[in-house]
Amino acid sequence: MSKSVRTMIIAVLVFIVLAGGGLGYIAYSFLNSPPGYGTTGIVFEVEPGKSFNTVAAELEQQGLVKNATMFSLYARLTGDRSKLKVGQYQLNQMMRPREVLDVIISGKSIAKGFTVSEGLSTYEIAELYQRQGYGTAEEFFRLTRDPQLIQLLLGEQHDSLEGYLFPETYMLTKFTDTRTLISNMVKRFLIVYGEVTAGKSNLGMTRHQIVTLSSIIEKETGAPEERPMISSVFHNRLAKGMRLQTDPTVIYGKALVLGKIVINITKNDLLTPTPYNTYTINGLPPGPIANPGREALAAAIAPAQTDYLFFVSQNDGTHVFSNSYENHNKAVQRFQLNRKAREGKSWRDLNKNRAAGEVK
């Protein structure tokens, strides 16, 4: 607001007050001095559906403006009454009316970060969403399987938005609804996917197939440097008509039955057919099993050039790769069937070592 406009507003308020009783100082004081001396932050909510007059009255009640009527009139004269935004705002009693008004029309609501890690499934994200108090897991999960929302966001029809909820930190306010969060996650995916695939061959795969493969790559390793090699194994197996035989797809197939992710799998699980069990089906499963990050998406369309067909965990978050079943069996004997090779090791060691600077 320009100085001349502010001066005019002050003059109008002064005139109004003078006409009503000659108390021009009240108008001047209202605009140029805070309502109090408290510097402690006060969280003030502008709730949906509330009129400006109601908001002004609540500001006065909480000691954030001196006079609700004058504040409302001031907002009308500045043209800001219609700019009121729903949100939670940090105010204090040392703020002048212009400062208060600027905040509540800014839309910059108090927000908290909702962090979705790479490789989480919709089941796990929904539980995290509820656990952190943003909404219900049931609503989140239901919306990720809403055919109309899926069509609107992707322009395609799939069973769910699994794979398309990009893992990142999203700033949520008290008034951010579930549908908005999910929409923002998919929009972020579309941006990143476009960046990752720009100028690259899709290797004869559809977007859905690329995302499906990316999700499997994401679940198979936490070591970024391994993702292109993991990708090469799956591409090589697909080219040879070999089944992918990857445990995370078995886990996801079970989740469709149980309604939740259960990590432990048995030999019977490996033999039980589901649409996602890559021990019993050929090729890729019908859809993603988790939500991949940028590096997994990149690895899916740019695999390392290897002749690897197998990999086995070294029990520390990394893997040994083999190009023959014979060599793979040797690696299994060394790292999986040898108890000493497993003692004191965990995939969590990878993050610990990286944090300590031991893994570059």
214 and 282 share one domain: yes
Angstrom CA distances, 298 to 219, 224, 282, 285, stand at 15, 11, 24, 19
Going by C-beta distance under 8 Å and a sequence separation of 6 or more, which residues neighbour residue 162? 121, 122, 144, 215, 287, 288, 289, 290, 291
Same domain (yes/no): 275, 330: yes
319 and 213 part of one domain: yes
Residue 64: burial class (beta carbons within 10 Å; 0-12, 13-18, 19+): buried
Residue 202: inside a domain: no
Determine the 3-state secondary structure of 248 from DSSP: helix
Tens digits of pLDDT across the chain (360 residues):
566 666 566 656 555 554 555 455 677 788 888 998 888 999 999 999 999 999 999 999 999 999 999 999 999 999 999 999 999 999 999 999 999 999 999 999 999 999 999 999 999 999 999 999 999 999 999 999 999 999 999 999 999 999 999 999 999 999 999 999 999 999 999 999 999 999 999 999 999 999 999 999 999 987 889 999 999 999 999 999 999 999 999 999 999 999 999 988 999 999 999 999 999 999 999 999 999 999 999 999 999 999 999 999 887 778 999 998 898 888 888 877 766 655 554 455 555 554 444 443
- Same domain, yes or no: 20 and 60: yes
Please indicate, yes or no, whether residues 346 and 287 belong to a single structural domain of this protein. yes
Q: Is residue 360 part of a domain?
A: no
Are 28 and 130 within one domain? no
Q: Single out the residue in 197, 232, 255 at which a domain terminates.
A: 197
Domain that includes residue 120, residue range: 112-197
Domain holding 82: CATH number? 3.30.1490.480
Last residue of a domain, one of 75, 104, 133: 104
Residues 222 and 296 both lie in one domain: yes
Q: How many domains does the chain have?
A: 3
pTM of the predicted model, to two decimals?
A: 0.84
Chosen domain end from 88, 104, 120? 104
Is residue 248 located within the same domain as residue 335?
yes
